[in-house]
């Protein structure tokens, strides 16, 4: 994982429901917390593209449901601005499930992946088919 040199608009709060973009068997995920988030008193923890999160599986195969995993946000609906001035917005909020060591749990990623997430997580970049 590498650090980002800029700030992305945080579009996903704790409790947000995301789509699972990999082939692990999970379909819907709920964001529990953003790992490494240091906020202000009584402010809701929020995350953006490329952030490592803790999530629970809400819908999916029976062996995946009701379990807590770590993941990385790969798409968000809230628009954010890149350094070159382009505004990016995706159709949905999506994440992929990873192991605590940073390896992907699935073997492929469905749909596009944000460039910011791909630069920060090389394993996700190699498994994705489209990087936007």
Q: Among 40, 33, 35, which Cα is nearest to 15's?
A: 33
In whole angstroms, how far apart are CA 44 and each of 72, 76, 81, 115? 18, 17, 22, 26
Q: What is the pLDDT of residues 80-128, one digit of tens each?
A: 999 999 999 999 999 999 999 999 999 999 999 999 999 999 999 999 9
pLDDT of residue 24: 96
Q: Specify the DSSP class assigned to residue 27.
A: E
**Residues 6 or more apart from 88 whose CB is under 8 A from it?**
79, 80, 81, 82, 114, 132
**Residues 6 or more apart from 34 whose CB is under 8 A from it?**
14, 45, 46, 47, 51, 52, 53, 54
- Rounded distance between C-alpha atoms, residue 97 and residue 23, angstroms: 9
Mean pLDDT confidence for 65-89:
96
- Rounded distance between C-alpha atoms, residue 126 and residue 41, angstroms: 38
pLDDT of residue 3: 67
Q: What is the pLDDT of residues 2-38, one digit of tens each?
A: 666 678 999 999 999 999 999 999 999 999 999 999 9
pLDDT of residue 86: 95
Domains of the chain from N-terminus onward: 12-131 (2.40.150.20)
pLDDT of residue 6: 72
């Amino acid at each position: 994982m590498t650090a980002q040199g800029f700030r992305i608009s945080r579009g996903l709060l704790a409790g947000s429901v995301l789509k699972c973009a990999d082939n692990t068997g999970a379909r819907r995920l709920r964001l529990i917390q953003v790992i490494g988030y240091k906020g202000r008193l009584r402010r809701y923890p929020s995350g953006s593209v490329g952030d490592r999160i803790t999530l629970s599986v809400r819908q999916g195969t029976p062996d995946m449901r009701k379990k807590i995993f770590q993941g990385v946000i790969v798409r968000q609906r809230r628009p954010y601005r890149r350094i070159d001035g382009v505004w990016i917005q995706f159709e949905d909020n999506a994440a992929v499930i990873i192991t605590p060591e940073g390896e992907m749990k699935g073997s492929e990623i469905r749909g596009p992946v944000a460039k910011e997430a791909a630069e920060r997580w090389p394993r996700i970049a190699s498994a994705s088919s489209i990087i936007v």
